[in-house]
Structure 1
Amino acid sequence: MAAEDLEWERSKISNQDLNMMKKLGLMKKEDAIRFPSEESYPNPPMEYRVSFVDHLIRGLSAPIHDFLRGLLFVYGIQLHQLTPNSILHISIFITLCECFLGVPPNWALWKRIFLLRRNASRNATYNIGGVVICVRTDVDYFDVKFPDSVQGWRKKWLYIHEESANSVEHNIIPFDGNAKIQRRRSWDAEASEEEKKATEALMSRIHQLQNTRGKELSGVQITAYFLRIRVQPLQARKNPLWTYAGGNDANRLSSDLSAKDLEKLIRRISRLNKKDPVPSSCRVEPYSSANPLPENHPTMASLPPLPEDGEVEEQAIVAEDNQAQTNQGFDLENPVNDPLLDALSYLELHGSEIREGVSNASAGLSTLFPLPEEEEPSTFLALAKASIHREDLEFEDAPENMKVLGKHCCPGC
């Protein structure tokens, strides 16, 4: 049996999860969800796809939004390979675009903010949740307050009904548990200069939303908003969220949640503790039918390429030897009592920038780990070797210029 098959086990969905999904309207249609019986490996019925409870409660429903369809296509991944926190990143981004920027989810803007990384620990790499969406380290974006870990989410899998438009073969591609996760150029692809220029006003608006005194918008506020209005951001919808019409809106899946259920759900998918207040509203009024877009507001449509558009250059797979030389992801999980790892866990060493990064790291750590007066280390591992014995770091199998994921990555595992 392949290693990735061993990650799957019999699904264990609690009554509490079932009740929450019912309240969220996720089971309103009789055939919307099917639950596995005795199988320990997914075998979805015809026209069904594999998903997870923790994906659905973070804004995923079928049929999926074209933005998500294109994202999966360009990145060359399947839904089950994204962590719950990555799903929430996409939900927040779509809500941000439609409700607070007044534009459809913009692919060029997405590329300015996000990149993908492989989800791994020292002892394992994952296929289920094997990819994480991260905020680029040079971007000032909302603090979403992800939980450090989403416990047990891989065990709560189910089948969702795949609904396709007549013009496309599949809305969600069929489940393939044997498909390997392969790094592609698109994972790191940046916006072009033309795209940066076209989205500069949107980036400025995001900065304004974050920093206007007394009206600061937060990631938790955005999350609470889409949960409160009962619209799934990642579902294909008849109308954008800036036309949201309240209780009678056609996109709503259910009636309002009780204040208790809403608070419980928000705390579940964030790291708010019992002392942190749950936002009851947004400090910035979202666009809706009651707060319409200004006249002549630019739409700035920019979707990622879709499967029916054919292959795109960004999909090219990065050769393994090239991965090792550039930016292969490696997630250091919970380094304990290790000052070197603690200090370096927020550094990002990447491609041509590696020497500058190592130089800065050397200077910053000189008081803790004085380096011998020799040639400056040219890689992360060389720096680690110079600072502390290699065996202590357990990096025997790590690539020479390993990339350490920073605080903007979402573990979700």
Structure 2
Amino acid sequence: MAEEKESFEGQWAPSNVTEENLKEMVAHGVLPAKEIIGWRPACGEAFPSPDTHEVVVFSHFFYGGFALPTSKFFRGILNFYGISLHHLNPNSIVHIANFIHVCEAFLGIKPHFALFRRIFFLKPQPNKSKPCVVGGAGFQLRGTLSQKYFSMPFKTSNKGWHANWFYIQNPEPALPEYSCLPPVYQDTWNSLPIGDEAAQALELMDRMLKLKEQGLQGEQITRHFIKCRLAPIKERSRTAFEFDGKHDPNREEPDSLDFKIMKERMYKIFSNAIVVSYSHQLPVVPYNAFNPPPQVCI
């Protein structure tokens, strides 16, 4: 067992995250100050050895809508698929954050798990018999939906993200304790909702398709939650369809985001082929406290 543990620990890239890197994340508004959440760098460490009440996180995740403590929906995803945070990759985090935000801000509902399962499956990396410890499980669009869901022009590579790990306090409601083990493939990774849940998911898919036909794109959804200074994956006191502007308690920072930092965040996630212009006119008016969604039973 000790040899197996050493083998799994050996799959980690040594951390290259310094105190200065984390301070820059604070300056960009994607990470709270150390006094608030208690992070610490792991630069030079070969593999994680978190203290009690700490969790291992990747800096890329915070740029894509991740923050702590995480929401019930996100924790439910980890529990349903039997995975830990470090089993995911940066694109999976953005997929989850975008899904939550499109449900709230553009469908006007809380995130719908059956719809999530209808759209995504969890793919083992590189294969189901021997998935990697770090990034060994990635959410991908089901093949039949690649043309129906919102375009997500990700960067072709997030090279180096495996080494961008550090420690942070694990506040309640907490994530599962760190384990050095890889994910274990199970049937739920590719299962579909059934019965009434499946019918609800199909109905919501039709509504999503209409949003896409109106011109809504994946990177616009991401930019909207970044501009609002929201972290969709975070446990929040209200949804995006209740967002009431600059003084909303769920904003990560009260001040408006500098456009230069906005561009940096977008190009950290998406291909340089996308255009991040200063003016940002959405083809669909998002729901919020001033434009509440109609009452629909889902």
TM-score, normalised by the number of residues in structure 2: 0.90
Separation in 2, partners of 1:286, 1:26: 26
- Where does residue 200 of structure 2 map in the other structure? 198
Cα deviations across residues 21-48 of structure 1 (Å, max 9, x unaligned)?
4321512351522222553211112211
- Where does residue 28 of structure 1 map in the other structure? 33
Q: How does 1:53-68 map to 2 (within 5 A)?
A: 53-68=59-74
For 1:202, the aligned partner's letter is: L
Separation in 2, partners of 1:17, 1:282: 32
Q: Is the 8 A contact 2:136 2:183 kept in 1?
A: yes
- Where does residue 354 of structure 1 map in the other structure? none
Residue 260 of structure 2 is aligned to residue 252 of structure 1: no
Q: How does 1:15-164 map to 2 (within 5 A)?
A: 15=20, 18-28=23-33, 30-32=35-37, 33-36=39-42, 38-120=44-126, 125-139=131-145, 140-164=148-172
Q: State the Cα distance separating 1:282 from its structure 2 match.
A: 2.1
**What is the aligned length?**
286
Q: State the Cα distance separating 1:158 from its structure 2 match.
A: 0.9
Q: Is the 8 A contact 1:62 1:160 kept in 2?
A: no
Q: 2:178 aligns with which of 157, 175, 196?
A: 175
Q: Is the 8 A contact 2:16 2:43 kept in 1?
A: no
Cα deviations across residues 153-196 of structure 1 (Å, max 9, x unaligned)?
1111011211114xxxxx2010001x232111110110103212
Q: Is the 8 A contact 1:82 1:129 kept in 2?
A: yes
Residue 19 of structure 2 is aligned to residue 11 of structure 1: no
Where do 5+ consecutive residues of structure 2 fail to align? Answer: none
Partner secondary structure for residue 51 of structure 1? strand
Q: State the Cα distance separating 1:17 from its structure 2 match.
A: 5.9
Percent identical among aligned pairs is 29
- Where does residue 224 of structure 2 map in the other structure? 225
- Where does residue 311 of structure 1 map in the other structure? none
- Where does residue 284 of structure 2 map in the other structure? 284
Q: Is the 8 A contact 1:64 1:172 kept in 2?
A: yes
Q: Is the 8 A contact 2:17 2:42 kept in 1?
A: no
For 1:26, the aligned partner's letter is: L
Q: Is the 8 A contact 1:49 1:174 kept in 2?
A: yes
Q: State the Cα distance separating 1:292 from its structure 2 match.
A: 1.2
Structure 1 residues 151 and 37: CA distance shift in structure 2, 3 A: closer
Q: How does 1:237-248 map to 2 (within 5 A)?
A: 237-248=236-247
Separation in 1, partners of 2:209, 2:57: 34
Q: State the Cα distance separating 1:10 from its structure 2 match.
A: 2.9
Q: Is the 8 A contact 1:145 1:272 kept in 2?
A: no
Separation in 1, partners of 2:30, 2:208: 31
Q: Is the 8 A contact 1:5 1:41 kept in 2?
A: yes
Separation in 1, partners of 2:202, 2:132: 36
Separation in 2, partners of 1:147, 1:207: 24
Q: Is the 8 A contact 2:65 2:231 kept in 1?
A: yes
Q: State the Cα distance separating 1:18 from its structure 2 match.
A: 3.6
Separation in 2, partners of 1:180, 1:269: 25
Separation in 2, partners of 1:94, 1:225: 12
Larger C-alpha radius of gyration, 1 or 2? 1
Partner secondary structure for residue 20 of structure 1? helix
Structure 1 residues 13 and 39: CA distance shift in structure 2, 3 A: closer
Separation in 2, partners of 1:3, 1:149: 26
Q: State the Cα distance separating 1:198 from its structure 2 match.
A: 2.0
Partner secondary structure for residue 232 of structure 1? coil
Q: Is the 8 A contact 1:64 1:235 kept in 2?
A: yes
4+ residue segments displaced more than 6 Å:
none
Q: State the Cα distance separating 1:3 from its structure 2 match.
A: 3.0
Separation in 2, partners of 1:143, 1:157: 28
- Where does residue 392 of structure 1 map in the other structure? none
Q: State the Cα distance separating 1:218 from its structure 2 match.
A: 0.3
Cα deviations across residues 22-76 of structure 1 (Å, max 9, x unaligned)?
3215123515222225532111122110000001111111110111101101101
Separation in 2, partners of 1:29, 1:98: 30
Separation in 1, partners of 2:156, 2:29: 24
For 1:99, the aligned partner's letter is: A
